[in-house]
Structure 1
Amino acid sequence: MSIIARHITVDMYKCKTACFDDMYALQATIKTLLQESNIEILSFASQMMPDDHIAIALLFEEGHITVHAFPDLQYVSADAFLCEEDAAPEQVFSSIKKLFKPEKTKTTILKRGDFGTNTDMKPKTKTKVAPLRRIHNTGSKVVKMLTKSKSDTKNK
């Protein structure tokens, strides 16, 4: 299997609120953490969004990192896309997790651009369908119950 990138998504719950006080300080801290990881940042942007969450995007030669911080929810969602087959995006996030000090995290790591021998790219889905007869029978029972309750109410 040959892949071209690794992608990590991290959800951080019940983060410490002090991290959300200043958008520019938060951006500067994240930028410093990445530079300490020997990542040279090409460009970055931050924005206070209309729903009062902070959006930060950092672009570097090996990929990008985005962070969305929701102060009211004490929640941070972030992702890193690293364009190297043997990249370790979880190492990049270890310092970011320390910054936000979440009580709980959910992490997903994806291998992107799989050009292996199996090129079947069909998504795996599972669909559960109830038989129509069961739905029809349930519907008739509900109609009978409603009709009965109306007639009971009129008789009182």
Structure 2
Amino acid sequence: MKILARHLTADLFNCQNYQLNDNELIKDMLVNLIQKFEMQLIRLSMEALDSSHTVYMAVLGQGHITMHVYPELKYVSLDIFLCQENAEPDKLGQAVRNYFKPDKTKTTVLKRGDFGTAKDLKPKVKTKVAPLRKIHNTGAKVIRILARRNNNQ
């Protein structure tokens, strides 16, 4: 089976990095990681969608990296798509996790591309949930914050 790309998605919960809303530091981290992994950066953009949600997008010669950062929730949504059969987005994902220091992560890795005949088109998905530290009722905290935000609007 020929794989055209590898795609990693990760949810980083209860991030301990106190610089979640320092846009320049996060952009610098992305640039440094792209250089460290010897990837070609075509464009890096950052867009603050509102005061509590910022999106970072790095377009690479090998694919893309997208991050949605929610400082109030201490949450980061990460998407790494690398257009190489032998790509290892999990190594890049680990470096991003090391920067944000989450208590818990949920990671999914997909092999993208040609999956053979029509009957074999169902992709193989590997999902891993890994608690890094004990979380105290994070789901309830997220719901309360979102409810407060909706009530204030």
TM-score category, normalised to shorter length: 0.7 to 0.9
Aligned-residue sequence identity (percent) comes to: 39
Map Cα deviations across residues 36-55 of structure 1 (whole Å, 9 max, x no partner).
Answer: 11112111100111252110
The reply to whether residue 23 of structure 1 matches residue 23 of structure 2 is: yes
When normalised by structure 1's length, the TM-score is 0.72
Question: Which residue matches 1:150?
Answer: none
The reply to whether residue 85 of structure 1 matches residue 59 of structure 2 is: no
**CA distance change for structure 1 residues 46 and 53 in 2, over 3 Å: closer, same or farther?**
same
Segment of structure 1 superposing worse, 112-121 or 84-93: 112-121
**CA distance change for structure 1 residues 42 and 105 in 2, over 3 Å: closer, same or farther?**
same
2: CA distance, partners of 1:31 / 1:71: 20
Runs of 4+ deviating beyond 2 Å: 117-123
> Cα RMSD over matched residues?
1.8
**CA distance change for structure 1 residues 91 and 17 in 2, over 3 Å: closer, same or farther?**
closer
1: CA distance, partners of 2:37 / 2:122: 37
Question: Which residue matches 2:47?
Answer: 47
Deviation at 1:16, TM superposition (A): 1.5
Deviation at 1:2, TM superposition (A): 1.5
Segment of structure 1 superposing worse, 28-37 or 6-15: 28-37
Aligned to 1:20, the other structure's residue is in SS state coil
Segment of structure 1 superposing worse, 48-57 or 77-86: 48-57
Residues 1-156 of structure 1 mapped to structure 2, 5 A cutoff: 1-50=1-50, 52-119=52-119, 121=121
Bigger proportion of residues as strand: 2
1: CA distance, partners of 2:75 / 2:91: 20
- Is the Cα contact below 8 Å between 2:5 and 2:82 reproduced in 1? yes
Amino acid at match of 1:59: V
Bigger proportion of residues as helix: 1
1: CA distance, partners of 2:14 / 2:73: 7
2: CA distance, partners of 1:26 / 1:122: 36
1: CA distance, partners of 2:31 / 2:89: 16
Deviation at 1:113, TM superposition (A): 1.5
Map Cα deviations across residues 102-124 of structure 1 (whole Å, 9 max, x no partner).
Answer: 0100000011122413455479x
